[in-house]
Structure 1
Amino acid sequence: MTKFDEATQAIKVDEGTYDVCLDPGYAIGGPLNGGYLMAVMLRAAVDASPFEHPVSTTAQFLKAPIAGPAQVRIEPLKAGRTAAFARATLVQDGVAHIEGLITTATLNEAEPVYERPADDMPSRDECVKLPAPKPESGMTLNAQMELLFDPPTIGWLKGEPTGRPESRAYFRMAEPQDPDPYVLALAVDALPPVVFSAGARGWAPTVELTWHLRALPAPGWLTLLGSGRLISDGWFDEDVEVRDSAGRLVAQSRQLARVGRG
């Protein structure tokens, strides 16, 4: 079992309740990463489902949980021949922090009938890492994964944002681990907020995030392609497309978030 598997483990207490322990190693300056929290909830949802894979997840982030004990409560809604639907709630100290609707199914290896070509990315040798965060920053998430960025999309570090909401990087876990659906849940929320490249800074809290598992990923690096369509009135959207090492589309997400204050 990898460290990530342990950090997302859900232990069944009864038919609809799972104990979890939220790991402080997935924090972004204090709050825990939303993708990590979804991975925790998905462990419980898949265990409670007759199907193997979380193909669609919608999460409403009501309140930021803290590291430590919590529970995931699963309410089955319907199970059919090819898919099951459930409500998942992350509860801490008796208070709901995240509400999720999760669809599970079992994916098979299949050639796509149509797949839009991926956007161009430079080679990994041409990409760069972000500087290591200061220990006092509380940015523990960085140590759990490796990201190599397309240089223009992190120009904001030097005060040279592109002016467009975008972020692109290669991704893998810091500890050797083949990507799976739970790693993909982390990956869709692993990029810096795309508004940084448009000139905004500061914590950008996610309000709602929906992501789809489209195929089981091949071993190796993932490619994350993030973009936004509109920044207005203190809100922005962020789309992320995830490709595996074979170039296949394996996950896609969209989130609505607040523009942070630097």
Structure 2
Amino acid sequence: MTKFDEATQAIRVDDTTYDVCLDDGYSIGGPLNGGYLVATVLRAVVDASPHAHPVSTSAQFLRAPRPGPARVIVERLKSGRTVTTARASLVQDGQPFIEALVTTATLDAAAVPDWSGGPPVTMPGRDACVRLPMPKPESNMTLSAQMEMLFDPPTIGWLSGEPTGRPEARAYFRMAEPQDPDPYVLALAVDALPPVVFSAGARGWAPTVELTWHLRALPAPGWLTLLGSGRLISDGWFDEDVEVWDSAGRLVAQSRQIARVGRG
């Protein structure tokens, strides 16, 4: 079991209840990363389902949970031969922190697309990409140590005061500990990029309010490519779309979230 598998582990208590322990190694300056939290919820949902893969997830973030013990409560809404739909709540101290609707199915790892478009942006090679500087220990940015990311240089121009002026973020991604990507790693990956509003000139914590993501295929081993963009920044809100492409050049995940613009 990898560190990530352990950090997202859900232990069955009964048919609807799972114990989890939220790991402080996935913190972004204090709050836990939303993709990590969703991955933890999905462990419970999939265990409670007759189907193996979370193909569609919509999560509402009600408040930020703290690291430590919590529970996931799963309510099956409908189950059929090809899909099961469930409601899942991440609860801590009797309060719900995330409410999610999840559809599970069983994907064929050998499936060949009937049609597929290409990536919307061509990434430079990994040797032309750059890493973010290691965060200072007092920043409590522990998430950075859990993954390896190589960024398309223009999309991190905000670090040197030269943002592109467009909401965008692009990087190659893999876990820091050797691990082939799976649906739970993809749940983390869709929320792993710096907020796209940084490249548009905004700074500060940008809390996710709602995140929807779709598992489109089971990923091949190797690096993932994350392509993030936004369409509108207005009235203190922004949207962020992310596509995840695997090492075989297949689209394996898509997400959209709406979030608040941070204050730097």
User: Could you tell me the TM-score, scaled by structure 2's length?
Assistant: 0.99
Q: For the residues of structure 1 that align with 2:88 and 2:215, how far apart are their CA atoms?
A: 17
The answer to whether the aligner puts 1:80 opposite 2:76 as a matched pair is no
Cα offset, 1:258, TM superposition: 0.2
Deviation at residue 237 of structure 1 after TM alignment: 0.1
* Structure 2 unaligned spans of 5+: none
Worse-matched range after superposition: 111-120 or 175-184:
111-120
Aligned length: 262
**Partner SS for 1:147:** strand
Matched, 1:152 2:149: no
Please show how residues 1-262 of structure 1 align to structure 2 within 5 Å. 1-108=1-108, 109-118=110-119, 119-262=121-264
Aligned partner of residue 65 in structure 1, secondary structure = coil
- C-alpha distance in 2 between matches for 1:96 and 1:113: 41
Give the partner amino acid of 1:115: S
* Aligned counterparts of 1:247 and 1:27: Cα–Cα separation in 2: 30
In percent, how many aligned pairs have the same letter?
81
- Code of the aligned partner of 2:230: G
Structure 1's consecutive aligned runs of 4 or more residues displaced over 3 angstroms after TM superposition are none
| One-letter amino acid matched to 1:111 | V
| CA deviations over 1:163-221 (Å, ceiling 9, x no partner) | 00000000000000000000000000000000000000000000000000000000000
In the TM superposition, residue 104 of structure 1 has moved relative to its aligned partner by: 0.1
- The 2-side partners of 1:3 and 1:111 are apart by 32
Q: In the TM superposition, what whole-angstrom CA distance separates every residue of 1:95-153 from its partner, at most 9, and x where no partner exists? A: 00000000000001211111111120000000000000000001000000000000000
1:228, distance to aligned residue in structure 2 (A): 0.1
SS in 1 for 2:122: coil
AA aligned opposite 1:170: Y
Cα RMSD (Å) of the superposition?
Answer: 0.4
d(CA) in 2 for partners of 1:77, 1:136: 44
Q: Spell out, residue by residue over 1:65-113, the C-alpha distance to the aligned partner (whole angstroms, 9 max, x if none).
A: 0000000000000001100000000000000000000000000121111
SS in 1 for 2:231: coil
What amino acid is the match of 1:39? A
Give the C-alpha shift of residue 229 in structure 1. Answer: 0.2
Q: Tell me, in whole angstroms, the C-alpha distance in 2 between the residues paired with 1:147 and 1:197.
A: 17
Distance 1:230 1:116 in 2: 24
Q: For residue 156 of structure 1, report the CA deviation from its aligned partner.
A: 0.1
CA–CA separation in structure 1 for the residues paired with 2:249 and 2:161 = 32
Stretches of structure 1 that go unaligned for 5 or more consecutive residues are: none
| AA matched with 1:57 | T
Shift in Å, 1:246: 0.6
Structure 2 Cα separation of the partners of residues 114 and 34 of structure 1: 31
Q: Give the match's secondary structure for 1:168.
A: strand
Q: Equivalents in 2 of 1:231, 1:114: separation in Å?
A: 32
SS of the residue 1:215 aligns to = coil
Amino acid at match of 1:79: S
